[in-house]
Amino acid sequence: MEIGEILKFLPHRYPFLLVDRVLEADAKRFRALKNVTFNEPHFQGHFPGYPVMPGVLILEAMAQAAVGTLAQQPGLTPGGLVFLVGVEEARFRKPVVPGDTLILEGELLFFRRGLGKVAVRARVGEEERASATLSFAVQGG
């Protein structure tokens, strides 16, 4: 799923669009990519001299990565909003820094009547940097 297709399903735009490409996705699993660059505005203050991607933005990127799987759910069409409504078991193992290519992969645990849950992990190369279980609600679409 290229950026044009992602933009149909996610309302986010710069500077809050945190997925560059969905590498693969089916109705149950997804894998997406986020290129982390020093040009992103949060690096100016987090932290001067030691830029680190904020954990909350890693979680947001993980949530946005699920768009590839959500787009394949019956009855879901472009134009709706997806709200992050819960974060469980979030773990941050090592910083994500400019120059990293963040691979976001996960599995849809359930999706019924607009409510769902995904298990997601973020890695750089083969090294896991973060993981979480995220709950979401879909409105419209």
Instruction: Please give the structure tokens belonging to residue 121.
Output: 């992990």
Closest to 19 in 3D by CA, of 29, 6, 9, 28: 6
Active-site residue, 46 included: yes
Three-state secondary-structure class, residue 134 = strand
Cis peptide before 16 (omega within 30 of 0): no
Q: Which of 46, 55, 119, 133 is catalytic?
A: 46
Kindly list the catalytic residues.
Answer: 46
